[in-house]
Amino acid sequence: MRLVFFLTALLGLSHLVHAAAEADMLVAYDNSYSDGVGGDANAQVIALNAVASSNLINERSGTGARVRICGYHKTWWQKNRTTVGGFVGWLSNYNDNELNDVTAAADARGADLVAYICQATDGNIAAVAGQPGRYAAYQPSSVWGNLFAHESGGHNYGIDHRTGRDNPKTIMLHNYCGGGANGYYSNPNLWLNGVKLTGNGGCLGTALQGGDAAYWIGDAAQGVADRNARVTVSPNL
């Protein structure tokens, strides 16, 4: 019994030691997306996996930031009504009567971040996010860890593409200067494949933010997490 208690206490201490600035995210998606993946449960699990993967990228990169999903919201018949950036514009404008149900749901749940999943007219654009900002929009094929880390975990925290490194590729240059990226933000204190992960801007030009996405995400993390008061609810009994 004492051993079990000790291990439990140790695990609790470990959790405190690794505490991060945790932002709340509302995940919204259109019925066209959930229909395409087999229903609401599948849509939500896919989003949950993307957020979990993004959190892992933050953890291994040493940002001190993480995200938890505080709720889900479903829209109807929004498919191909605008571009990916258009969805972000609608969400950002409370006075345009477009996607106001999403922003209302986000406000009710105290969401610091909002990720919206819906097919847009510009199918060649994977996702768009405010830099910095609350909102990001994703094409249906873009709901996975690297994209969430790039958009909601990067741009929404104010991080520029040019903080990234091109070889080995880090998250903020994902799909720039060639395809894909490793699951790391740039961080001059980390090494991968024998290379220090200092951002160099790659093909986009001179590095910004000191080529250190991890530092600047960490610098912004508490402010993002404090955008709105956390809404707590009683458990289902």
| Long-range contacts (CB closer than 8 Å, 24 or more residues apart) made by 167-170 | 167/195, 168/192, 168/193, 168/195, 168/197, 169/202, 170/197, 170/199, 170/213
Please write the tens of the pLDDT for every residue from 49-77: 999 999 999 999 999 999 999 999 999 99
Q: pLDDT band at residue 187, thresholds of 50, 70 and 90?
A: very high
Residue 6: pLDDT above 70?
A: no
Q: pLDDT band at residue 233, thresholds of 50, 70 and 90?
A: confident
pLDDT at residue 3, as a whole number: 41
Please write the tens of the pLDDT for every residue from 139-171: 999 999 999 999 999 999 999 999 999 999 999
- In this prediction, residues 105-130 reach a mean pLDDT of 98
Residue 132: pLDDT above 80?
A: yes
pLDDT at residue 15, as a whole number: 38
From the DSSP assignment, how many helices (H) and strands (E) are in the chain? 7, 7
Cis peptide before 188 (omega within 30 of 0): no
User: How is the chain split into domains, by residue range?
Assistant: 21-159+214-225
Nearest one of 127, 71, 72, 116 to 91, comparing CA atoms: 116
Q: What is the CATH number of domain 21-159+214-225?
A: 3.40.390.10
Which residues share a beta bridge with 69?
25
Residue 48: pLDDT above 90?
A: yes
Residue 234: pLDDT above 60?
A: yes
pLDDT at residue 236, as a whole number: 62
Residue-averaged pLDDT of the chain: 93
Residue 2: pLDDT above 50?
A: no
CA distance 148 to 128: 10
- In this prediction, residues 215-229 reach a mean pLDDT of 98
Neighbours of 62 (CB within 10 A): 16
Is pLDDT larger for residue 78 or for residue 237? 78
- In this prediction, residues 184-206 reach a mean pLDDT of 98
Percent of the chain with pLDDT over 70: 90
